[in-house]
Amino acid sequence: MTTKEHNIAVLNSNSHKEIRLKTDTSYVHAKNHHLAYLFVHEFPKAVLDFPIVFIKDSETGQFKSVALFGFKPEENLFYNPKGWLCKYIPANVRRYPFLMVSKNNELTQWDICIDESSPLLSKTDGQALFNDEGSASECLDDVKAFLTDVVEKEQLTSSFCNYLASKDLFRANSIAISDSKGQKTAVNGLYIIDEEKLNELSDEEYLELKRRGCIGPIYSHLSSLGQINNLLMLRNR
């Protein structure tokens, strides 16, 4: 799978036996990302840094939760080569240059893939992904465990968003921003949980949210909206 910026291939010991993984805590690959998909399990940590909002897939109609880094494409207000201006880095940023690609429609079998064009890969520096005999190294075992956890949390987050959508709890929300000349524009395409509709749920519906473990993430999201002002301050500093 090749794109303008990435060359994605299934990881295997034949093609990638000599590949080593370098460490980069600046996550430079995400410097132009204005958002990142966020798992529901990350909300309690992410709320301390980012606005947590939702976007809607134009093709499937499904909602996805994201951490907002900026207000327009290629604007990452947290990126700094010496260290991001936040305490928490989302898992979908940290997983690079790896990703999991489903092998079937049931999402029960997965391939570990790698971006062969990533500057984090080297034949001389970093930790080996495979041992001399071609078996997975300790480094790759750790990667596999991390990616397996990512897949599980991605599916649980999808269930969380789908259930909230089934209760019609999302509403569109726009954010007004100003340019250097003071002209205001609206950032659209974002969704938040509608507190009014949330409060109108019956006792039974609210208890079902609690049973599903949705209450904590919902209020983490609502609390995180206060970070929009902090993000605007970063933009205007």
* 3: in domain: no
* 69: in domain: yes
Sign of CA dihedral 106, 112, 116, 117: positive
pLDDT score for 2 = 37
* 23: in domain: yes
178 vs 196, more confident: 196
The partner residues of 20 in beta bridges, in order of sequence, read: 122, 128
CA distance 71 to 128: 38
* pLDDT (mean) for 105-130: 88
Cα 230 to the center of its chain, rounded Å: 20
**Total structural domains within the chain:** 1
Name the burial class of residue 110, with classes exposed (0-12), middle (13-18) and buried (19+) by CB atoms within 10 angstroms of its CB: middle
pLDDT score for 165 = 97
* pLDDT (mean) for 124-140: 94
> 74-104, pLDDT tens digit by residue?
999 999 999 999 999 999 999 999 998 887 7
180 vs 221, more confident: 221
User: Residue 197: which domain range?
Assistant: 8-236
Query: Of 41-55, 62-76, 171-185, 200-214, which range is least confident?
Result: 171-185
* 1: in domain: no
* CA nearest to 231, candidates 52, 55, 91: 52
* 122: in domain: yes
* 73: in domain: yes
* 36: in domain: yes
